[in-house]
Structure 1
Amino acid sequence: MTELNLVDQVHVEHVHKRQFRYYNLMVIGAMCFASMGMGYSASIIGTTLAQPSFLHYFKLDTRSDALSLISTMNGLFQAGAFFGSIGINVVADKFGRKMSITIPCILVLISGACLAGSVNVGMFIAFRFFSGMGSWWLLGAVPVWMSEVTPPKNRGMLVDCHSAALLFGYVSASWVGAGFYFYRPAANNQWRAPLGFQCFPVFVALCFMYWLPESPRWLLQNDREEEARRVLLKLHDRDEADLELQQIRNQITVDNRLEQSWMSLLTKPSYRKRTYITVGLSFGIQMTGVLVINNYGPTIYASLGLDTSQQLVYQGGFNTLAFGCGILAIFVVDRFPRQKLMSIGTAVVLATLVIEAALVASYPPTATQNPHALKAALAMIYLYIAFAELLLDGTQYIYFSELWPNHLRAKGMTIAMATIALVNIMWLQVAPTAFANIGWKFYLCFIIPGYIFAVCCWIFFPDTRHLALEEIAAIFGDADEIYRAPLEATKISLDMAGKSEHSEDV
């Protein structure tokens, strides 16, 4: 049997015999509480900024520097996100994937309580930083763990549960914020409770953490083979668990001989290509403006002539639609090539922004003068998020986690989350001023570079769908490194068997 045939046999056998178990669903579902906590804490600022009691308490309705303070609330959240993304690699590689989820859960829990209890604007802004750190740490750490405990043929569907849970957190934040707007206590502090509720999902995740499995890949990387075997036996049947254990073991043998430094991400061609793709994808999808439109949704609705209660209701509808489309995306993501799904998704969501910009530019934003134009503009915002969640949001996190080999996956996710955070610092910091001064022209900042990304994604990005994590390296020219160890192991086994037979004959 030739080496090529042996590689093909290992590849086909591994993919087609992999078993799916309900245990996979249970552990993914439990970890989704951490994802939900991230979504809630990231989204709650949208409805909080529309609460009259919040604006009055911090005097944001009268202060001359109100726009600057609101920008800082969002900007510091993203600054915290940048530092949180660094923790993904530092903690995940040294202390384990579970620990890299536990620490940010604690950060979100503590910062959520302090945000709800803030007594001045300085305290609120400071804990927005820590909330951003914990939230975005979770954003990257959870899909790393999920990708390493799920089978290739179902990985897209199961890891996309992370995105669906994020969106459920967004939905919850929107409707909780809207509900408390209509609750008028004597103390006029209804803005506090919605901020405090972000503690609940991460607390539940922390309660489950003891029973959730550690990544078998990380366990083997740290010479804990028996623990890894026990985890794999829970995830697959015995034959498949043994097969995956051998493949991971062989891969780690190779990993230990490979460069693992940050500098190697730029000096080694296959790693450099991954780095360029990761940065490009992070930058490109954020250039569609998805976080700006979510965080400043009430501001956008106000510019269309809606009052505060209508702004909150439409924001709730926006995130509810996003959640529904995120659920549908679970059943779509594995049916099409990853890069084509993201390229088409980018082009479609930008098309809705083009129409939105044209409507706002052509008609005054008042519901009484142009009711049909208002309805069309609102429809475009809703179509925007529908396509973004169906085609883009979950797919990007799956792609990030699949793109990198085991020994560099946490570093790769760190690069992705840090890039997203840096791009969002820029957009969220300038958005209030931009909406106030240039209005619809701000959309052009997303449309032009976004279409450039869509073309590049279609042409240059590879498809990683349905491939085992140890097999994706072949796309980047690492095939020899990935398969050399299994081939050598097979040859050694055959040689030993031949010698044994020869001894018996003698």
Structure 2
Amino acid sequence: MKTLDEVAGKHVENKRQFNLYNVIMVIAMSLGALSYGYSTAIIGPTLGNSLHLGTVVWKMLILQGLYSTGGFLACYTVPYVADKWGRKWAVCSTYTLVSGAFLAGSTNIGEFIFFRFMAGAGAFSLLAAVPIWVNEVVPPRNRGAFITLMGLMLLLGYMFASWGSYGFYFYHPSSNNQWRPMLALQCLPPIILISIMPFLPESPRWLVKNNRITDAEKVLLKLHEPEEAKIEMRQITLQLEREKGLETSWYAMLWGKKSYRVRSAVAFGTTSFIQFSGILVINIFGPQIYGGLGYGLSTQLMLAACWVTVAFVSSFLSMFVVDRVSRPKMMAGGMIGCVCILITETVLVARDKVGPGENKDALKAAVAMIFLYVACYEWMNNVQLSYLGEIFPFHLRAKGLSLGVSGIALLNIIWLQAAPTALKNIGWKYYLCFIIPSALAAGVILRWFPDTRGLSLEECARVFGDEVELFGGKQGGEEAVVVGDGGGEAVGAGSEESGGKENA
């Protein structure tokens, strides 16, 4: 039997722990993330290209507000499916498929608004469900990169929506229905995903939890290199054996033992802090600045598509760094970068009015800041979804991730409803609502958020003080960890490898 030193050493060896099958499966499951990105991004160009919806601004608020409201509520249905029926079946949502079909065929604004609400429910349930599965099927050393790969698929959805809308702008049917094909296309990713779902592997952790040990071993051997698969199987079995009988309710997670309360606060704080960075305000000010430079609608659509493309490239580059830098430093660093860019943007917008005939050099600089901002934002955006999956133990992971993603939806509702009034009454000062909280949040993350980079999901519990439940607690003044079955041996955990890894 291997000692803990040998096990921990395998996790930090400079060798690949995954295989091509693992990559393909993550890309396939990330069609759910692509569906989220497309569904979220398509509404702006749709309203701009359609006449049947009437006044755009207030209906944009209603549609986006209800979209996020549907998403907020749907997040809390994901854990039931993920825990009872399986991680992969939680991704098998038909909301996006059905809502996309009805949105494309809608005949009145009431029907459109209702199914936009349903689209939000589908999109955010996918945003919560896909990372649960991805976090549980990828090796610890590359977890951040795989979650970023999922994020790239999400941005690919944004790109399809943005560039597709730019192309359909030049399509002028006699009935003014150029918005319908773009809405109908959001049905394609869920159709493909649902059709291939029976062939995608289930989470090995869920399989072990449901006493399907042989199936779990087969899945791990397919996904990971053999040595890594054996190590993870041993750790999964140990954790889930020790989790038996632990409370799994929402009340236990939010109000139970201290380590669970801390996890919940960190999860909701992570997504809320990142939303404080001001991504929605940048989206709001962007078209005004483009218009102020004298660009027409087609050029504005093209610039919006280029903006998303820059985000995709930046996110791709971050994939090679995310597992080399601690999670808190990655998030706080991106947040500080966004704050600096927002300060520059605030100075430019405050000094030079946005509008035709104004200082075009300043406005061009403001556009450059918008592109720099999204490049910086993507370096922290994907980290949050891997971090949410890492900080919770298996029996609370689905609830924890759903709680965090619901924070994204909630902050969207708040900022979208406040933005028009705030922009009208206080203008550029609205930026300060993002600059100041983001700067404070970066300090909180650096000071109090624990690092979980490179640790297996089972090892992550130790940074929250859960050694008793998962790692055997203290014996004779030294930490003892069981690495086999009930009769296995216990060895000291204070080794150079395991201790160094925990503090990485």
TM-score normalized by structure 1?
0.90
Say whether the 8 Å CA contact 1:71–1:430 is kept in structure 2: no
Counterpart check, 1:353 vs 2:342: yes
Give CA-to-partner distance per residue, 1:95-118, whole Å, 9 cap, x none: 111110002xx1111111111111
Question: Match of 1:152?
Answer: 140
Tell me the distance in 2 between the aligned counterparts of 1:421 and 1:259: 27
Q: Which residue of 2 aligns with 1:123?
A: 111
Q: Which runs of 5+ in 2 are unaligned?
A: 474-480, 491-504
Deviation (angstroms), 1:437: 3.8
Offset, 1:488:
7.6
Q: 2:61 corresponds to which residue?
A: 71
Residue 329 of structure 2 is aligned to residue 307 of structure 1: no
Q: Deviations over 1:191-248 (max 9, x none)?
A: 1111111111222222221111000000111111121111112123444323322211
CA root-mean-square deviation: 2.1
- For the pair 1:81 / 2:56, whether they are aligned, the reply is no
CA–CA distance in structure 2, aligned partners of residues 360 and 233 of structure 1: 55
CA distance in 2: counterparts of 1:438 and 1:301, whole angstroms: 20
Distance in 1 between residues matched to 2:116 and 2:248, nearest whole Å: 33
Partner of 1:498: none
Aligned-partner Cα distance in 2 for 1:75–1:123: 16
For residue 299 of structure 1, report the CA deviation from its aligned partner: 5.0
State whether residues 19 and 223 of structure 2, in contact with CA within 8 Å, keep that contact through their aligned partners in structure 1. Answer: yes
Separation of aligned partners in 1, 2:261 and 2:128: 20
Amino acid at match of 1:399: Y
Q: Which 5+ residue runs of structure 1 have no aligned equivalent? A: 61-65, 496-506
Q: Relative to 1, partners in 2 of residues 1:441 and 1:8: Cα closer, same or farther, differing over 3 Å?
A: same
Counterpart secondary structure, 1:58: coil
Which whole-Å CA distance do the structure 1 matches of 2:341 and 2:471 have between them? 45
Say how many residue pairs are matched: 481
Task: Please list the CA deviations of residues 425-469 of structure 1 after superposition, one character each: whole Å capped at 9, or x if unmatched.
Answer: 111122233334433222221111111111101111111111000
Deviations 1:255-306 (A, max 9, x none): 1132322222222111111111111111110111224434774355346654
Asked if residue 214 in structure 1 is aligned to residue 191 in structure 2, the reply is no
* 1:315–1:190 CA distance, 2 compared to 1 (3 A): same
253, 264, 269: which one aligns with 2:252: 264
Report SS of the residue matched to 1:50: helix
Is contact 1:50–1:298 with CA below 8 Å preserved after alignment? no
Supply the distance in 1 between the matched residues of 2:84 and 2:284 (Cα, whole angstroms): 34
CA distance in structure 1 between the partners assigned to 2:488 and 2:452 by the alignment: 31
- How far off is 1:6 after superposition? 4.7
Q: Distance in 1 between matches of 2:394 and 2:302?
A: 44
The residue correspondences of 1:69-218 to structure 2 (distance < 5 A) are 69-103=59-93, 106-218=94-206
Find the aligned partners of 1:494 and 1:394 in 2 and give their Cα distance: 39
C-alpha contact (below 8 Å) 2:292/2:363 kept by paired residues: no
Q: Aligned to 1:282, which of 250, 271, 285?
A: 271
Q: Report the secondary structure of 2:250's partner residue.
A: coil
Paired amino acid for 1:82: F
Pair 1:379-2:368 in alignment: yes
What amino acid is the match of 2:269? G
CA–CA separation in structure 2 for the residues paired with 1:299 and 1:85: 33
Match of 2:240 in 1: 252
Cα distance in 2 between the residues matched to 1:228 and 1:342: 33
Q: How far apart in 1 are the matches of 2:428 and 2:294?
A: 14
Residue 490 of structure 1: how far off its partner (Å): 5.8
**Residues 210 and 296 of structure 1: is their aligned pair in 2 closer, same or farther, counting only changes over 3 Å?**
farther
Tell me, in whole angstroms, the C-alpha distance in 2 between the residues paired with 1:490 and 1:102. Answer: 35
Q: Tell me the residue number matched to 2:282.
A: 293
1:147 Cα offset (Å): 0.8
Shift of the 494–336 alpha-carbon distance from structure 1 to 2, 3 Å rule, reads closer
Instruction: Give the corresponding residue for 2:478.
Output: none
Retained in 1: the 8 A contact 2:483–2:489?
A: no
Q: Deviations over 1:346-383 (max 9, x none)?
A: 11112111111211111122354311011001011111
Task: Tell me the equivalent position of 1:24.
Answer: 22
Larger relative helix fraction: 1
For 2:38 and 2:127, the matched residues in 1 are separated by 12
From 355, 359, 372, give the equivalent of 1:370. Answer: 359
